[in-house]
Structure 1
């Protein structure tokens, strides 16, 4: 049985998230947006006018908010800690107890990492906006490292208690493959 996904959380004061606009001379047509921590980052071509920028930022931030609320994943480090505790109870008999679980922006080649000696888990901000069951898989994977340091059969037997392990691994492999080819949600590079 899959874990229950937490309900989407609205912003505490109803205000829009902080937004950072990144203009790129290399970007010709495409516009993309992603979460970096709690900030919505919108990447646009450098040639866009202020009016085009405003229209695209509104559109892309709206899309990010819809995606995030539709997926209902943890948005803050505190929510990650709570979700990790739930997953530890569900799949690891409550034995994996991290001291910290947090989003980080300095992991571009790994989805997550764990330092067992410090009992700390870090998840790449690139997971934000992905389906909750994928984020849950990465959390279970890192929680299992608190119990078993390597990737031996004992480790994988713990991780595979999470029922969507194979599916999540395939999903992340597909995302990695697409990224290595320069593909974006809008389609191939221009």
Structure 2
């Protein structure tokens, strides 16, 4: 199966501090499907040759999010979650937020995460597992910020200004909550 010459879209941030080049490969044989996979430190996105540049950009974003969600399903354990918290604190909070305990919990069904500054503990809801990594990072960073500022005032939000995907992650979580409120349609009858 031959593909048209590939071209590199851009270098984008994936899975923490590592950067990966996104390579888009167009194929005249590919009619409507889009797929993506990791190849070493690159992400390869396969698209139909007829796709416009705007459609290409949209599909690259969709496929990067899908890959991130698949990878986060191979979920971090509590130790990896604590390491990720330390990395986020160093990157966005100057290392000032240093929790004693970071762990997943199954008893948080109405909130995404919680923090007890007096104990230095952060708990993330198991419902986040399987969501894109940038969403988990946002919730973790949100709780780390609570170790420094307890409420949700201007000082708190100023701490989150440096995380570039705050608004996108918040929108994602709002969408999940809204989808959970939609009425469930009964399954179609089979005759």
- How does the TM-score come out when normalised to structure 2? 0.61
Choose 1 or 2 for highest CA Rg.
2
* 1:37-76 mapped onto 2 (5 Å cutoff): 69-71=70-72, 74-76=75-77
Please point out which of 3, 15, 22 is paired with 1:5: 15
CA contact (8 A) 2:115 2:143 kept: yes
How far off is 1:155 after superposition? Answer: 0.3
Partner of 2:140: 139
Larger RCO (CA within 8 A; separation ≥ 6): 1
How far off is 1:95 after superposition? Answer: 0.2
More strand by share: 2
Instruction: Report SS of the residue matched to 2:148.
Output: coil
User: CA RMSD, aligned part only?
Assistant: 2.5
Distance 2:107 2:167 in 1: 26
Total equivalences in the alignment: 128
How far off is 1:74 after superposition? Answer: 4.5
How far off is 1:70 after superposition? Answer: 2.9
Partner of 1:173: 174
How far off is 1:4 after superposition? Answer: 4.8
1:105 aligned onto 2:106: yes
- How does the TM-score come out when normalised to structure 1? 0.61
Partner of 2:31: none
Instruction: Report SS of the residue matched to 2:103.
Output: strand
Partner of 2:122: 121
> Which structure 2 residue ranges, 5 or more long, are not aligned?
1-11, 18-66
